[in-house]
Amino acid sequence: MFYHKKELQYTAKPDKPDPVYAKKLQEVLGGQFGEITVAMQYLFQGWNCRGNEKYRDMLLDIGTEEIAHVEMLTTMIAQLLDSAPVEAQENAAQDPLLGAVMGGMNPQHVIVSGLGAQPTDSAGYPWNSRYTIASGNLLADFRANLNAESQGRLQVVRLYESTTDHGVRDMLSFLIARDTMHQNQWMAAIEELEQQQSVVVPSTFPKEKEKQEVAYSFMNCSEGTQSQSGRWASGKSMDNQSTFEYDESPEPMGQAPSLNPAPHYIHDTPLFSSNNPNEKK
C-alpha cells in the first residue's frame, strides 16, 4: 500500500521563475538517469524480488523515496515556470510563444502541460520504461543501480553549477546528498552479495562450460599497448579464480564468414562473376 503526505520530503522553492532552467531540470526528472527512472527501477526490482525480504524491503524503501524526489522536482519546475512566457514576450517578441522559444524555453511547457512539469527529458523526449533494469539477479541489478546513481548525481551536480538561484541550489544540494547515500548504499549491498557469491554474474553458471582459455585474457584489439599497464591485464583476477593475461596480438579463432545465397523469392542482389559483371552466374 502507498500513501501520500502533503508536505514535500525537502523544500522545493526557487527564488524566482526561470523557464529556461525549468527545461534543463527536466533531464533529472524524466531523463535516462532521472528520478522517474530510478523510482520505477527500484520498485520493480523490489516487487519482483523473490525469497529475500531484507533486500526487498530496502528496494521498496529507496524506490518510494525516489517518488518523493519526483514530486520535489515537478514542484520546482512548475514554480520555475510561473508567469512564463510573459517575460519572454516583453523581452523578445509580440507573440508570447515565439518569445518563449527564442528565449530557450520548452514550448511544450506552455502548449502541452500548461506551465507544469512533464515526464520527459530536457530535449522533450518522453520517459521510457526501457531505461529501467530489473533482471531478478540482485548483484547485476545493484551494479546497474550504482551506475544510475553515479550518472544521476553527476547530472545534478552539473545543474547545480549552472544556476545561481539559492532556492534551486538548496534543493539540489539535498538531492546530491541523497545520491551520496544511495551510491554508498549500493556499494555496501554489492560488497555483501559479492562476499556471498562470485563477483562474476551469474555465479551459478558452471565454470567448465566456459572457454577457460579466454576467460581471463585481456585482448589488445586497438592500436597502442598502454592498456597493458592496467590492473585488468596482469595479476590475480578479481574473482580470485585465475590470473589476468595480456594478449598483445590476438589471432582470429573463427572461420572467415561465407553465407549461402538467398533464395530467389528474397530478391537479394543477383550474383555476377568477377570478370564479367553483365554475366549472371
Which segments are annotated as binding site?
35, 57, 61, 66, 69, 149, 182, 220, 222, 224
Angle, CA 86 vertex, CA 85 and CA 88 arms, to 5°: 65
The sign one gets for the Cα dihedral 133, 139, 144, 149 is: positive
Question: CA 33, CA 119: separation in Å to the nearest integer?
Answer: 13
Question: Which residue positions form the known binding site for Mn(2+)?
Answer: 35, 66, 69, 149, 182
- Per-residue cell: 133: 533494469
The candidate with the shortest Cα–Cα distance to 28, out of 146, 149, 182, 109, is: 149
Amino acid residing at 24? K
Give the amino acid at 15.
D
Return binding residues for Ca(2+): 57, 61, 220, 222, 224
Q: Using alpha carbons, list the distances in angstroms from residue 112 to 24, 81, 107, 141, 231.
A: 17, 13, 8, 35, 51
State yes or no: cis peptide before 202, omega within 30 of 0: yes
For residues 55-78, one letter each, b for 16 or more C-beta atoms within 10 angstroms of the residue's C-beta and e for the rest, the string is bbebbbebbebbbbbbbbbbbbbb
How many Å separate Cα 134 from the centre of its chain?
13
